[in-house]
Structure 1
Amino acid sequence: MKCLIVAAGQGARLREKGELKPLIPIKGIPLIERVIGRARKGGIDEFVVVSGYRGDELRSALDAVSAREQVRITHVVNDEWTRANGVSLLKAKPELDEPFLLTMCDHLVDPEIFRALIAAPSEPGTVTLAVDFNIDSPLNDPEDVTRVKCADGRIEHIGKVIRDFNAFDTGVFLCGPVMFEALEESQAQGDDSISGAMNVLARWNKARAFDIQGRLWVDVDDPVAFGKAEGLLDSGTF
């Protein structure tokens, strides 16, 4: 199965750690290389990476990873990288003609999340988001994560500022072609984000939730989260 990694943005909040977020070393290994390594442990054997900001530099680094680790990495260029992340996903459509996983270049997750999501039963014509119902965990900032309202295995609403929620978006999705239909619909309505597409799918009753059941994940989006990720890696529990 292919895994799409969105890595086109500027990553300004981690600028003190490095100029290009996906290549910032965390415990000696670039962030995106850790994402790829964890996804491979979770059963992924091929990657599509969307680059934008300082894309030549990122693509060169990934080509070196591909050669060294013997893993296939296909590049997609997003020249509109200042727009929201759904634009990156839609630009990868020509490379993805079968079910695929989607994740972010700055989300470190337990490989078992990938493995369990792939193995879980899925309904044709839907998109499934891995969600964390442990909303009181100190690991991820509740003021920064994307919030999700779930009911009976379905996603009803998703967004950064929604007030009625019972889960967090881990940034790991199992997608099919309907995701691209939803992205096009959402962008036509003026919302370029992946969350916008998920809200479209929710209205179509095609957005599903997968409970990660307490498995760990961290969005390495700022220096505080970076420190938490380092601590998890140091502890050997992650």
Structure 2
Amino acid sequence: MADQEMADDFEQLVDLIAGTEDIKSVLDGLTGFAAATMTRATGVPIECAVTLHRRKRTATIGGSSGRAVVLDRIEQTLGDGPCVEALEGGVPVLLGDVSSDRRWPEYRSALAAADVAGALGIPMKLDDDAGAVLDFFAPVSGLFTEQAVSEGIRCAEVAGKALRLAVRIVSADQRAEHLKAAMDTRTVIDLACGIIMAQNKCSKEAAFDLLRHASNTRNQKLNDLAQTLVDRFSGPGSGAAYFDD
């Protein structure tokens, strides 16, 4: 039954990823999913934030509420708390009751001021040099029982898979955009060179040298100059256009 629930949850997150256009929306949706999962497990509304650690830098990157994001960022600023320890140790860290636990006094004060009575940090493995933590916040102490922590670990496992998938999709999209931009740049430069070749009856190499020389002389980017030439050539009266560096 647990395996089927995990499969259903992962399918829900995949649908979330497929329906969004940016990683921030995915992360906010992911923390919303995690908060809803823990709310079902405890019977009380739970908030959640997600913290990313990559290349020795840590940042809060999403949350189910603005307050969850603020509380998580306070912890990162202090460098002390259950989420920080979970990230460093790779195991869940529980702050069951802010009024009785003696660890992390400054952070406990911030939680108490926000009417948060308990917190739970559960790590997620992303890749060799990156990790993340789900940081849960409860309004009542004692909610994060052994069963609730187990449910949080299961949630983090599913969320980690979805986050890795989202990062890969975004990375692939960015590579595709960069490739398209490079191809578009190459195309307009080739078109400009073709125009110069026709006008000056020269080779492609000579045409490119003329274009590059004009770019340096005018202090204008090569691609921008090429686009200007192509636009001028294809505009009204284009038959009379002539390239002069």
TM-score tier (shorter):
under 0.3
Between structures 1 and 2, the one with greater helix share: 2
Give me the TM-score of the superposition, normalised by structure 1: 0.26
Between structures 1 and 2, the one with greater strand share: 1
Give me the TM-score of the superposition, normalised by structure 2: 0.25
Instruction: Pick 1 or 2: higher relative contact order, CA cutoff 8 A, min separation 6.
Output: 1
